[in-house]
Every structure is written in structure tokens, then in C-alpha cells.
Amino acid sequence: MKLNKGSLSLPLWIMVLFLSGSRFYASDPEDGRTFWFTYRVTIPELPGESQRVDLWVPIPRNNAYQTIDRITLRGNLPYRIDEDPQFGNRMAYFWARGEIPENVQVELRFRVTRKTVRALEGSGSAVELTAAERREFLSPDSLVPVNDRILEEVRKAAPRDLPPLQKARAFYDYLVETMTYDKSGEGWGRGDALYACDVRKGNCTDFHSLFISMARAAGIPARFIIGFPVPHTPDEGTINGYHCWAEFFVPGKGWIPVDASEAHKHPDRRDFLFGGLDPDRVAFTLGRDIPLVPPVSSRKLNYFIYPFVLVNGKEYPLYETELTYRNAQSSGMSRTGRNADQSSDE
């Protein structure tokens, strides 16, 4: 745990650097990109009777596809950096007690280096799951059940005797063919696998929640990843909404990504997006039902990509976010690739 006092008026930003030994999946070292990402949160006006403010902001970390460095974090509230005990997601926690400012301003900025992922190429992965990890990623989440309704979908999508990799591909193809990317009406965007089963439409959260439910029901560990799409052109701009995808685990291959919602929208990329990801995205957090640190009684977040704010102990939705990117010049990195999802999944 790291305690800091941040202020927008300070001339010196407090630097926070996270390092890990994670390696990239096998990919062409020339196939990737580097960019700067800025995540701003503003609470423009707090109620006059406010006596307590709590604000959590997700912080990305290194993983098998990306390196995060040169992180700066500042704001007009004191803060600390924590990590959730279940998935290891990093988060900045800002707070105020008693003497509350008229508004709150927070800014997170960092550099991202992404590589194109081709997880099915090469010699595979020696990484194996621990018993605890296997239990975690085979167990249901609140909106990602493993039940008879999901087993019915599994039976429709694939023969029982298929090996795990081929079975996961059958689930992926089934969802690409039987679901529609459609954000009309109500119910979409919660990542509710049963909603996706019944309505057969939704956004990326709905596609991938159903994929994860089906994989787990078939005995294949699977997990949820959420972040933001980052357009390749122009060289800088704003980002309107999040994007998510899924990963499933096969012994000897490791974690294999799938992006079924993008494959539905871009049929020409269907084969690539089973096991492959373009570099035009940044992953923020992993998992569902994410515990906050410090905890808020038994509260867990369905997924964690936008700020979570409490004022006087009650959830407070009147905040604003501004997400921007700027491409960085990086020798040895080509600027080929496509946007993961330029339409907003918000």
C-alpha cells in the first residue's frame, strides 16, 4: 500500500511505476504500437452537505500483451494505490473527510506498448494454472452462470467429444453466427450471459459473458478482460467507450484471447480474432465481481473500467470522464493494425 498526497496545483507530479516479469505472446516484434493514454475524472460539483468522498479509479498493469510505464497520477485529494486480492487489479483510491473541496479532479497518464497477439502460433506456453486459478476461472460469476440453460447452449454449439481448443472455436463461431451486435433497447451492456442467451444480441460484454459461461460449463477455464479501444489514426484524439474480450485456457497453449463481438462486426477478421488481437487497445482490468480496496462492505463491481464514486457513503453518478490518446514515435514498431472497436461500447 502506498500513501500519497496529490494536488493539481503542485508543479511536480508524483510518479508511480509498475513493473512485472510478464512476457508477450509469440508475435512479430515489428507488429505493434506505442501510445500515451490519459484518463481524467472530474466531479464538477459536490453537494453542499458532503462530509465524505471516496473515489476508485482503475490502473492498468503489464500483462502478456502490453507494457505500461511512465505512469503519473495526480489530483486534489490524497490517494493511495491498492491491488484487489482476488484478481490483482490495481486501483487508485482517493478520499476526503470533513473538509471537502468544491469539486474533484483526478488525472492518470501512462505510456502503453502493445504487440499484436497471435497466441496460436509458435510453440505454445509452458504456463499452467494453479488449483486456485482453475477453480476461479471455472466458477460462475453473478451474471456469468454455469447452469442448465448454459449447458443447453453448449450442446447446441459443439459435440461433446471435441478437444478443448476445437470446442472453444465451436463456441466462438456459434456466437458470431447467432448473436447480433445491437445496443438498442434495455438490458444490453451488463454482461449478462442469460440475457444474451434469450435475446441473442448485445455489446461486447454480452457476447463474451456468454462465451465465458459456455467455456466454463464445458470445463474450459475462461476469464473476462476489459479496457479501451485506441484508434490508430488520427495521431491523437478522444475515446468514447470501453471494449472487452475474453480468454480461455488450454494446457500447453496458455491463455488464448477471443474477440467475438468484433468478429461479428468484421467477418473478414473472424479467423484472426480467435487467438489473435490487434494492438489498438489497452487492457485495464481482469475478472468480474471485482472487490474494491479498501472494501465497501460486501460490494463488488460487475466489472471495473470507469470510476466508482461514493459521496456520504452512497453511490454518486454525477462525475465526468475524459479519455484521450496520443501516438508515440517508437523505432522498430510498425504502424499497421486496426482499431479494436471505434464505436463506443459504453
pLDDT of 316 over the 70 cut: yes
Region 83-111: mean pLDDT is: 96
- Top-tier CATH class for 2-116+296-327: mainly beta
Q: What is the average pLDDT value for the chain, to the nearest integer?
A: 88
pLDDT of 110 over the 80 cut: yes
Q: Over pLDDT 90: what percentage of the chain? A: 81
Residue carrying C-alpha cell 470446442: 167
Lowest mean pLDDT among 1-5, 177-181, 266-270: 1-5
Q: For residue 44, what are the CA distances in angstroms to 8, 104, 214, 290, 317? A: 14, 7, 42, 27, 11
pLDDT at position 312 is 95
pLDDT of 315 over the 70 cut: yes
Which grid cell sits at 226?
476489459
Interval 131-147: pLDDT, tens: 999 999 999 999 999 99
Interval 37-70: pLDDT, tens: 999 999 999 998 999 999 999 999 998 889 999 9
pLDDT at position 276 is 97
- Top-tier CATH class for 119-283: alpha beta
Which grid cell sits at 145?
452462470
Region 320-342: mean pLDDT is: 62
Q: For residue 326, what are the CA distances in angstroms to 5, 36, 295? A: 27, 5, 34
Which grid cell sits at 309?
464514486
210 CB burial (10 A radius; 0-12, 13-18, 19+): buried
The answer to whether the beta carbons of residues 292 and 56 sit under 8 Å apart is: yes
Which grid cell sits at 224?
473476462
The answer to whether the beta carbons of residues 154 and 171 sit under 8 Å apart is: yes
CATH 3.10.620.30 location in the chain: 119-283
Interval 155-210: pLDDT, tens: 999 999 999 999 999 999 999 999 999 999 999 999 999 999 999 999 999 999 99
The answer to whether the beta carbons of residues 52 and 312 sit under 8 Å apart is: yes
CATH 2.60.40.2250 location in the chain: 2-116+296-327
* Measured distance CA(287)–CA(225) in Å, rounded: 6
Interval 11-20: pLDDT, tens: 323 333 333 3
The answer to whether the beta carbons of residues 277 and 336 sit under 8 Å apart is: no
* Measured distance CA(209)–CA(199) in Å, rounded: 13
pLDDT of 23 over the 60 cut: no
Interval 213-258: pLDDT, tens: 999 999 999 999 999 999 988 999 999 999 999 999 999 999 999 9
